[in-house]
Amino acid sequence: MKRQLTRELQQDLNVTLVRSLTWRLPVHSIEIAFQTVKRTKMDILMKMMLIAFQKGTIETAEELSELLLVDPLFINDLISLMTRTKIIEKKGLTFGLTEKGVQQLATGIFVHEPESATKKALFSPCHQNLLQGDIKPDPLKELEVYRWNDEFNNWEIDSLEDSALRNALQAMDVESDEGNTQIVVSDITSATAEQTVHIPCLEFQLYDKSEDLFYVRVWNTLLQRWDETLETQLNDKERKQWRADYLEKYDKK
């Protein structure tokens, strides 16, 4: 990979590779616990039951079963489901719709009970963001850690906002919208830091003679692309020193 990237960077004859480095970027494995809800188009029986509860005075499942000519087992199951999801409730002796039930009947969309799940994500303090990619066993444990890592490593798990966690879950295709069924993340219940893992990165310090410009490119093996965030950090912090080192080396010659 390093040879391939070097060839790519040196296709411009004005560009000289001054130095190349390989180092490890620490990222933190985080377990995100969350809840999803499924939204589906209401079936005819549920709509008929809700309308009956809204307009009539239904006290028992048996009454509704006789009214709709539907097996009591189906009626009881749906009453139990609608009670758990809080779209109906007993008001005195009769069933009635809650505010949520009125809204769902109006839209024709039934919101199912929440389901709990967990997913693992990767947080990079140097990016101040969650990254997507597959972690592989680190074969290069002798490599130095990214030299500016300590400057960005004063983070806490509580500093991660729900919006960032939701974006990470969306990137992992937790949510879906197909046909008459939609699944969305309804709540982030917790985020727990687990272990620290390391991502090999390839750094290329370059000089463009035509622009008289020193700059860096960094290939992030987790993202499988050039990493503009790390490049900006290195350019901002080290560009002047690269020029000074280059000029010193040139003077000695």
Q: What is the pLDDT of residue 180?
A: 87
166: how many CB neighbours lie within 10 A of its CB? Answer: 18
Residue type, 92: G
Q: What is the pLDDT of residues 51-88, one digit of tens each?
A: 999 988 888 889 888 888 888 898 999 999 999 999 99
The predicted model gives 135-147 an average pLDDT of: 78
Q: In this predicted model, what pLDDT tens digit does every residue of 14-54 receive, in sequence order? A: 999 999 999 999 999 999 999 999 999 999 999 999 999 99
Over range 115-142, report the average pLDDT.
85
What local confidence, expressed as pLDDT, does residue 30 receive? 93
**Which residues, 6 or more positions from 35, have their beta carbon under 8 angstroms from its beta carbon?**
114, 115, 116, 117, 185, 186, 187, 189
Residue with tokens 């879950």: 169
Distances (CA, A) of 39 to 63, 157, 243: 28, 31, 59
pTM of the model: 0.78
Compute the distance between CA of residue 222 and CA of residue 113 in angstroms, rounded to an integer: 36
Query: What number is the average pLDDT over the span 130-154?
Result: 82
pLDDT of residue 150 exceeding 80: yes
Q: Is 236 exposed, middle or buried (0-12, 13-18, 19+ CB in 10 A)?
A: exposed
Mean pLDDT of the residues in the chain = 90
